[in-house]
């Protein structure tokens, strides 16, 4: 017995609670009003946040911290309002498990293409004109890709619903993976063509082709209202048509 402990204290009160103290609760107790078995998507995506008023705790912030004002200004007081953000649903009902299973197959396919490019010597047949197109149009996409990844991450940080958070987070993963694949493809070409795409950053900053997109992403990066960014980034959108040129 530890020093200072009461040897007569009934420990069984801590180990065996009467049923009156512990009402039976299911994992999806907060979805019981649906009066049906919820789907996996509903269980793992609903009421995840603890600072929106609709989350697990039903409160916003427990303490009055400086961060509270930021969320009030750019989340709660956003011009885009909804009676209940918890009613949002991803039409695909994408969970982390479903997402990784889907992307795994896609990544295996892309790995096979990249390997075939190296084995077959496909890159050796490119003309100088086509190399110029790839250097100007494809290689600089790494920079807007990073910008879109940051924007999706911010939406995931500020969104008022766990389901929107998950959607934006998966979009951020898509953007980061897209950047990685473009960088890998650029490096493949650099092994054969010395100096290929070494001016990508300068092109992104000065080439007239890229300035409308660069300005748009730059303005979004200094926009703090979560819904304004959501409006322009459209999470989980399909990959742009430029991926066919990789």
pLDDT digits (tens, 9 = 90+) for 71-109: 889 988 899 888 888 888 888 888 888 999 989 999 999
Residue 66 has pLDDT above 90, yes or no: no
The 10s digit of each residue's pLDDT in 180-195 is 999 999 999 999 999 9
pLDDT digits (tens, 9 = 90+) for 149-178: 999 999 999 998 888 999 999 999 999 999
Report pLDDT for 23. Answer: 55
* Token pair belonging to 199: 């001016």
b/e sequence 81-100, b meaning 16+ C-beta within 10 Å: eeeebbeeebeeebbeeebe
Model confidence at 246, pLDDT cuts 50, 70, 90, reads very low
Name the percent of the chain lying above pLDDT 90.
Answer: 51
Structure tokens at 85: 């953000």
Per-residue pLDDT at 211 exceeds 90: yes
The residue among 235 and 137 whose pLDDT is bigger is 137
**Lowest mean pLDDT across 5-14, 15-24, 170-179, 234-243:** 234-243
* Residue 28 to residue 16: CA distance in whole angstroms: 24
Q: Indicate if the pLDDT at residue 63 is higher than 80.
A: no
Measured CA distances, 44 to 37, 136, 181 (Å): 13, 43, 30
Predicted pLDDT at 43:
77
Mean pLDDT lowest for which of 25-29, 47-51, 173-177? 25-29
Q: At which residue do the structure tokens 């290689």 appear?
A: 139
Tens digits of residue pLDDT in 122-142? 999 999 999 999 999 999 999
What confidence score (pLDDT) does residue 188 get?
A: 96
- Residues making up the chain, counted from first to last: 246
Question: Which domains occur in the chain, in start order?
Answer: 36-85 (no CATH), 94-245 (1.10.620.20)
Percent of the chain with pLDDT over 70: 76
pTM: 0.77
φ, ψ of residue 20 to 5 degrees: the values are -65, -25
Q: Which residue has the higher pLDDT, 181 or 13?
A: 181
Q: Which tokens is 11 given?
A: 């420990």
């Amino acid at each position: 017995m530890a020093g200072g402990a009461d040897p007569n204290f009934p420990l069984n009160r801590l180990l065996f609670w009467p049923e009156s103290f512990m009402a039976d609760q299911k994992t999806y107790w907060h979805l019981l009003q649906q009066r049906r078995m919820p789907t996996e998507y509903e269980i793992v995506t609903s009421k995840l946040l603890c600072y929106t008023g609709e989350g697990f705790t039903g409160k916003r912030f427990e303490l009055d911290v400086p961060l509270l004002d930021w969320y009030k200004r750019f989340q709660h007081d956003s011009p885009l309002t909804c009676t209940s953000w918890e009613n949002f649903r991803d039409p695909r009902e994408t969970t982390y498990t479903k997402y990784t299973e889907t992307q795994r197959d896609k990544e295996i396919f892309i790995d096979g293409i990249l390997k075939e490019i190296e084995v077959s010597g496909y890159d050796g047949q490119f003309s100088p004109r086509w190399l110029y197109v790839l250097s100007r149009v494809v290689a600089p996409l790494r920079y807007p890709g990073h910008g879109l990844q940051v924007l999706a991450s911010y939406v995931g940080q500020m969104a008022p619903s766990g389901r929107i958070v998950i959607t934006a987070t998966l979009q951020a993963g898509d953007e980061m993976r897209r950047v990685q694949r473009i960088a890998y493809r650029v490096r493949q070409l650099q092994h054969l063509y010395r100096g290929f795409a070494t001016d990508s950053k300068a092109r992104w900053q000065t080439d007239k082709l890229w300035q409308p997109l660069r300005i748009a992403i730059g303005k979004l990066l200094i926009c703090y209202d979560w819904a304004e960014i959501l409006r322009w980034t459209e999470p989980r959108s399909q990959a742009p048509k430029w991926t066919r040129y990789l």
